[in-house]
Amino acid sequence: MIFVNITRCSQKKLYMCMIFNYFTENIGKIAATFFTAMIPVGELRASIPLGLGVYKLDIYSTIFFSVIGNIIPAIIIVYALEPISKFLMKKFKLANRFFTWLFNRTRKKYYKKFEKYSGFALATFVGIPLPITGAWTGALIAFVFGISPKKAVIDIILGVLIAAAIVTIVFKTIGYVKFITVR
């Protein structure tokens, strides 16, 4: 690995040298944490315990790369689903029927409740670190309910930050589950 000799760094550049050394030493661990946060099943619920518990990364870089890794797919989903669905609705009769049914049914059945709590509901849903909740599902919900992409991204980012705080606090206070092996 490439390391910078810290003794040769000037006082101004000392922090940059330390940061460079940290990343070159831990780039594989950081990448694994980052990409684990991108996976729809685990998201932050898996990447933060992985970074803190397995890879022993510091709390700041673990949270930073987990949050960024979790937000990127959500932003792509929020901005890509509408053009994709419109394209499919134009090209395929079955897709048109499906999306029309989905939007009409969902918005008719749940729109009043969702409108009442809109931003709070999406951020809370994303922020609760349970299975089937998270940024990916929040992006899908924003699409189905027709929330503007800009508002959806803000709510999803807020929810991801809430989830990151909850997972980190739980991990740091309780710890991660160690499997008990019977011999």
pLDDT computed for residue 179 by the predictor: 41
What pLDDT does 145 receive?
85
42 three-class SS: coil
Domain count, the chain: 1
Question: Taking 50 as the threshold, does the pLDDT of residue 1 lie above it?
Answer: no
Q: Which burial class, exposed, middle or buried, applies to 142 when counting CB atoms under 10 A from its CB (0-12, 13-18, 19+)?
A: buried
Q: Assess whether pLDDT exceeds 80 at residue 154.
A: yes
Q: What is the pTM of this model?
A: 0.80
Question: pLDDT class for 128, splitting at 50, 70, 90?
Answer: very high
- The tens digit of pLDDT for each residue in 134-144 reads 999 999 999 88
88, part of any domain: yes
Q: What gap in Å lies between CA 103 and CA 110, rounded to an integer?
A: 11
158 within some domain: yes
182 within domain boundaries: no
Does the residue 178 lie in any domain? no
Does 181 have pLDDT greater than 60? Answer: no
In the predicted structure, residue 158 carries a pLDDT above the cut 90: yes
- The whole-number pLDDT of residue 17 equals 65
Lookup: tokens for 15: 């922090």
Least confident window among 75-79, 119-123, 147-151: 119-123
Assess contact for 88 and 95: CB atoms under 8 A: yes
Mean pLDDT for all residues in the chain:
84
Q: Is residue 101, in this structure, part of any structural domain at all?
A: yes
Instruction: Return the structure tokens found at 167.
Output: 């997972």
Domain that holds residue 90: 6-173
DSSP letters for 120-136: HHHHHHHHS-STT-SHH
Indicate if the pLDDT at residue 26 is higher than 70. Answer: yes
Residue 27 confidence (pLDDT): 82
In a domain, 179, yes or no: no
Measure Cα distances from 97 to 84, 90, 102 in Å: 15, 11, 9
Confidence of residue 11 (pLDDT cuts 50, 70, 90): low
pLDDT of residue 73: 97
Residue 44 parent element (H or E): helix 43-49
What is the maximal distance between C-alpha atoms in the chain? 68
**62 in a domain, yes or no?**
yes
The pLDDT, as a whole number, for residue 167 is: 94
Supply φ then ψ for residue 116, to 5 degrees: -65, -40
Q: Any idea which residue has 């006082």 for tokens?
A: 11
- Rounded distance, CA 151 to CA 154, Å? 5
In a domain, 180, yes or no: no
